[in-house]
Amino acid sequence: MSSFAGPAPVSTNPLLALADDIRRERAATVPFPPGETSFSMARTRRFARDPLPLLLEAYERFGPVFTLRILHGNVVFALGPEANHHITVANAANFSWREGHFGDLLPLLGDGMLTIDGAFHRSSRQIMLPAFHRERIEAARDVMEDEVQRAIDPWHDGMRLDLYHWTRELALRIAMRALFGLRQESAPQAAHDFEQALGFYARDYLLQIVRGPRTPFTRMQEARRRLDALIYAEIHRRRATGQRGEDVLSLLLDATDEDGTGLSEQHIRDHVMTLLFAGHDTTTSTVAFLFYELARHPEQRDTDLDLLLDETLRLYPAAWIGPRRSIAPFELCGVHVPGGIPVNYCSWASHRLPDVWEDPERFDPSRFAPGRREAIPKGAYVPFGGGSRTCLGMRFGQAEIGVIARRVLAGWDLELQPGYALRVRQMPTIGPRDGMPMVAHARAA
């Protein structure tokens, strides 16, 4: 069978998914870890709106492996260095991405890198790896510099802007040009469509289940269709003209397996959609949070940017949760966990554990300085996941954030607009719920 055949289709009917969760939970042959296992709509809403305190409280009460019933089913959470390493590296083969709650992204992303496992994931990753080699990223810096300068040119002293939305459009333009050679004039509409589509995942759980006209799901699907039209048009244009470049789309179009079989247009579309999502949403959030902390800690402005970025990703890892489903029962931190049930690690909570990180709520880039970084326990810091599923675009994203941050810092001081209070949302990456309203002050030459 071709390694490009792709996985079997999975139903995206939410009621069937709920029923399957309940069936698997009842079939568990091992007791669930301790925790809060009674039905609670209040707990469900709290997890949806403000999960971090809930997870940290449960860690304090029950230890690193615990159970919380979220809506209809028990979910096991595993926090801390040992748990992170177990799930992402040491025993990664015992956890499915596609059958975990990453499957919730299928109606938008399809069978992209976040929702596939096994041979299809390995072959797809192998295709794309050359586009993220160090020399390719260095070659993409010209695109990054050009787009950042273009985005900053309209700034003026005293200008008010929403840095989060400014960065969203900028990062999408960079991803469209550097990764896929797509038309950059489409970026504003595409950024709006991604915002609309991803907003579905920030809605109340019950609203996500509802189908029909004018529902959140329908609006998400409308945004998907507009994004699909953009991507398929470029796929068809490239195939018709034979045009290729040093980008991911060219690699996907020309890839064949050992039998000469290529990827279907659907799978090319799914990979492009996933990388466009991951390639702009994570950058957008990280830049916004970085300048949020610098506005609150101006004394850190001249700190090494790599340290600033590491600390920002500790406090605000964009990919804040790693939803999996266990395949077989296992033991972790002395606790037995059933097979076939949702198991999540959470970098956001793990990065704020007081028994792992000194003064974890404090913004302290020096904790990553030489001599201190080496003391961080293995598995304690996982902003990009780990093992064979480490974020494919990690170096690209770091380079992009570096270009944006250095260009802004070279000429501007950013101040939070008066009265702003940060509220974090998850949809499915974390970001500022109310944007990042700032005032730009030109620095003296």
Asked if the structure places residue 1 within a domain, the reply is no
Asked if the structure places residue 7 within a domain, the reply is no
* Strands of the sheet with 322-326, listed across from one edge: 35-36, 65-70, 73-78, 342-345, 322-326, 95-96
pLDDT of the residue at 10: 79
Backbone φ and ψ of 367, nearest 5°: -65, -15
Which amino acid is present at 439?
V
Which residue is listed with tokens 């198991």?
Answer: 343
Looking up residue 34, the CATH number of its domain turns out to be: 1.10.630.10
Asked if the structure places residue 241 within a domain, the reply is yes
Answer for the pair 317, 424: CB distance below 8 angstroms, yes or no.
no
Asked if the structure places residue 57 within a domain, the reply is yes
pLDDT of the residue at 166: 96
- Count of the separate structural domains present in the chain: 1
Dump pLDDT digits (tens) for 119-129: 889 998 998 88
Give the contacts of 316 (CB within 8 A, at least 6 positions apart): 285, 286, 289, 348, 424, 430
Asked if the structure places residue 4 within a domain, the reply is no
Asked if the structure places residue 8 within a domain, the reply is no
- Give the chain's largest Cα–Cα span: 68
Asked if the structure places residue 178 within a domain, the reply is yes
What residues make up the domain containing 418? 14-442
Which residue is listed with tokens 């699909």?
Answer: 228
pLDDT of the residue at 7: 83
Dump pLDDT digits (tens) for 190-208: 888 988 898 888 888 888 8
Give the residues of the chain that fall short of pLDDT 70.
Answer: 1-3, 183-184, 445
Nearest-CA neighbor of 220 among 251, 198, 247, 248? 198
Asked if the structure places residue 420 within a domain, the reply is yes
pTM, entire model:
0.94
Label residues 315-343 b or e (16+ Cβ within 10 Å = b): bbbbbbbbbbbbeeebebeebebbbbbbb
Label residues 105-132 b or e (16+ Cβ within 10 Å = b): bbbbbbbbbbbbbebbbebbbebbeebb
What DSSP string runs through 175-213? HHHHHH---GGGHHHHHHHHHHHHHGGGS-HHHHH--ST
